[in-house]
A and B are shown apart, each in its own frame.
Chain A
Amino acid sequence: MNHATQATAFVANDERAHWHDSALWFVRSKRDKCAHALPEWEDLRAAASEVKMHTISRLAKYLEQFEVNAKKLGVHVHWAKDGAEHNKIVHGILQKHDVKKVVKSKSMLTEECHLNPCLEKHGYEVVDTDLGERIVQLREEPPSHIVLPAIHLKKQDVSTLFEKHLGTEAGNNDPQYLTEAARGHLRDKFLGADAGITGVNFAIAETGGFVVCTNEGNADLGVSLPKLHIACMGIEKLIPRASDLSLFLRLLARSATGQPITTYSSHFHGPIAGGELHIVLVDNGRTEILGREEFRRSLNCIRCGACMNTCPVYRRSGGHSYETTVPGPIGSILAPARDANEFYSLPYACSLCGSCTDVCPVKIDLHNQLLTMRGKIAEKKILPWSKRIQMRLTSSVMKRTWLFRWAGGIARWIMPKLPRFLVYNRFNPWGKQREMPPFPKKSFRQLYADRKRNRQEDKPK
C-alpha cells in the first residue's frame, strides 16, 4: 500500500477535506486551552513519560505482579502471543458461557486483532456500542481515528445510514435526533447482551485492577448488565501504582478532546456479583518493539489521539489513508515497526514538523522516530525505485555546492518560462491539486549578499 495513493480519494472532495482539517484543529485547540490552564502541565508529561518508561523497563515483573493481584481478586488472566491466539481465547470463553450476543466498547486492541470478523464467522452477534464505532460498523468500514472513529463522516452520511438501518426519518440530519435513535437501538442491545467486551486504558500492577474511560457510558452499561466481562489489553497498558492514575487521568482526556476528564473513569477490581471477569494480555508484536531501542518509547502511548489531531498530514488525508488500526504519527511508527514491507510509505507521510512530539502527553519523540524509521526503510531497500532515484539524485546535487548553485540558477531561469503542461503533469506529484509557489528571482545567497551590502551602505560614514 502507499499512503499518497490512498489519500487521493480523500483530498478529491475538497470541501470535506477542509472540514476534516478544521474539525480536528478545533479539537487540538481545545486541548491547548486545557493544557494551558494547568501550570504543572509539563511536570505531568515528564512524570507520566518516566512512569511509562520505567514500567516498560521492568515489564515482566509488573505483568507477573498484575497477574498475581488480579487472580487474588477472582479475575481469570489469559495470555496471548498474537491476534489469532487472543481471538481464540475470547471465543473459548464465550463458548463456555453459551453466549450468543456480545456488546463491545471501544478497544483498539480488538480492532488490531480483528476480533469482530472472527466472532461473526462463528455466528455471534457483536455490536460496537460507542456511537462512532457503531456508525462505522454499520458502514462496514474501520474507524478512521482512535478517539473519534467517525470523524471522516458528515451528519448527512449518518442520517442516510440510520435511515437504512434504524429506520430514522429521511433527511433528518439533526445530531440530537440521530443520537437519540442510536441510544434507543443500543439500549436494546445492552439489555439483550450475554457478555460485554471492553478494552483497558490502564492496568494497575499493585492492585490487579484496571481502568476504562468513556464519555458515553457504553463500557459501563455493557459490563454491568451481563454477568460476563472480558477485558482485552496490550501488555504495554500496565502502570505500577494506583497513584500513577492521577497523572494519566489528568493527561488523557485533556490531550484527547480537551475535556478535564472523561465522563466515566471506571475502576474494575473484580467481577460483578455472581459473574466472571476475564483479562486477556496480548503481545502481538509489542515485545519486538520493546527490543528496538530507537522505537521502544512508542510503547508509552496511551492512545489519546492528540498526535492525529495536530498532524497536518493526518488532518488533510484522513485516517483511512493509513490503512492501519492506529493511523497518524504514532501509527506510522507502530505499523512499519511490525511490517516495514507493507507500511513503508507511512513514515514518509510526514513533514517532520514535530507538532506531534509537542502535544504527546507521554513525551514520545514521534518525529525523531519517524525520521529514524525512514532510515531503516531506506536501508532495507523497500522504497519504490522512483523515490530511490530521486533521493540519490537530490543527495548528489546537495553534496556539491557548485552543482547546487548551478542547478538553482537554471531552475529559476527556466521554470517560469515553461508551459503549464511541462510543470503540472503526472511526474510532478507536488503539482497535483495545488499551484506551485512562484519561483523567486534570486537565490538565498544572492538575497543575503544584497542585504549585507545594503546594510553597509546604510551605515553612517
Chain B
Amino acid sequence: MSSRNDILQAIRDQAIPERPLPSVDIDAIIFDDPITQFQTVLESVGGQLIQVESHAEVTSHLTGFPPYRNAQQVCCAVAGLDNLPDGPNFVQLDAIDDPHDLKAIDYAILPGHFAVAENAAIWVTDEAVAHRAIYFLTQHLAIIVPAGEIVNNMHEAYRKLATKGGLDQHFGAFISGPSKTADIEQSLVIGAHGARSLSVFFVQSQAM
C-alpha cells in the first residue's frame, strides 16, 4: 500500500491550484444526411454499407458475398437472423466454452447497437455475444445495426451510452472498418490481425 500513499502524497504536496472542468458539449458537426456521411466514411476506411428492409434480405446478400460463400465455418449472434443460407458449417457461440475453439471461423454475423456518422464507427458489446474474441478473431465480419440507430458525432454517441447504460458491459467497442495497418512503408494493408472485411447492414425491420 505504501507506494500508493507515497504517490498520492507526492501529488498532494504539489498543491496545484484547481483549474475548472469545462463542459464537453461543444457545438459539434451535424449532417443533413447522416447515413450518406456514414457510408462515405465507411467506404474510405475499407468497409461497405448495405441497407435492407428485413433480415431475409440480409440472408440473400450474404449468399452473394464470396467470403461468405467460401466460408468453412460461420457463426451468427444476431437475434432473429436464423435462417441463414446453407453451405458452411454453423458454429453455436453459446455452445462453446473456450474462445480458442473459434479460431477457424471464417465469417461472423454479429450485432451492433448504433452507428456514428462522423467516423463510421459502430458501438458493439459482448452483451449478446458469448465470446467477445469473435469480433476480432473471425476472418470476415458483418455487423447488423437496426436502421435509424445512427448519431451524428461522438458527443451524441456518449450521451446515448450514458442514457442507455452502454458502459455497464464489461466490454464495449467502437469499430470502424476492417482491421488495418500501414506499418510497412506506410502502405495501407487491410486485414492486419482482425477482420479482413467489414460489411455493415442497416436493417429496417427486425421481423423476418
Known: A54-B22, A216-B179, A269-B172. A179 touches B6 (CB 8 A): no
Which residue of B19, B23, B171 contacts A268 across the interface (Cβ within 8 Å)?
B171
Q: Are A263 and B179 touching (Cβ within 8 A)?
A: yes
Q: Among A79-87, A347-355, A384-392, A418-426, which stretch is in contact with chain B?
A: A79-87
Interfacial chain B residues near A235, Cβ < 8 Å? 7, 11
Chain A contact patch, size range: 35 or more
Contact with B along A94-116 (1 / 0, CB 8 A): 00000000000000000000000
A413–B103 Cα distance when bound, in Å, is 76
Complex: chain B residue closest to A215, CB-CB: B180
Q: Are A266 and B158 touching (Cβ within 8 A)?
A: no
A132–B133 Cα distance when bound, in Å, is 22
Q: Are A149 and B183 touching (Cβ within 8 A)?
A: yes
Which residue of B8, B16, B120, B158 contacts A56 across the interface (Cβ within 8 Å)?
B16
Which residue of B27, B132, B178 contacts A224 across the interface (Cβ within 8 Å)?
B132
Complex: chain A residue closest to B21, CB-CB: A54
Which residue of A64, A178, A243 contacts B8 across the interface (Cβ within 8 Å)?
A64
Asked if B207 is an interface residue, CB under 8 A from chain A, the answer is: no
Asked if A10 is an interface residue, CB under 8 A from chain B, the answer is: no
Q: How many residues of B contact A (CB 8 A)?
A: 73
Q: Are A265 and B136 touching (Cβ within 8 A)?
A: no
Measured CB to CB, the closest approach of chain B to A51, in angstroms, equals 6
Q: Are B28 and A261 touching (Cβ within 8 A)?
A: no
Q: Among B68-76, B78-86, B87-95, B185-193, which stretch is in contact with chain A?
A: B185-193
Interfacial chain A residues near B119, Cβ < 8 Å? 250, 260-261
Asked if A27 is an interface residue, CB under 8 A from chain B, the answer is: yes
Q: Among B55-63, B107-115, B142-150, B162-170, which stretch is in contact with chain A?
A: B162-170
Asked if A287 is an interface residue, CB under 8 A from chain B, the answer is: yes
A186–B191 Cα distance when bound, in Å, is 13
**Which B residues form the contact surface with A (CB < 8 A)?**
3-4, 6-8, 10-14, 16-24, 26-29, 41, 45, 99-100, 103, 118-121, 131-133, 135-137, 153-155, 157-159, 161-162, 167-187, 189, 191-195
Supplied contacts A47-B26, A287-B11, 15 more A-B pairs, CB within 8 Å: A131-B181, A131-B183, A135-B184, A150-B183, A217-B192, A221-B194, A241-B24, A246-B154, A250-B119, A260-B120, A263-B176, A264-B174, A267-B167, A269-B168, A291-B14
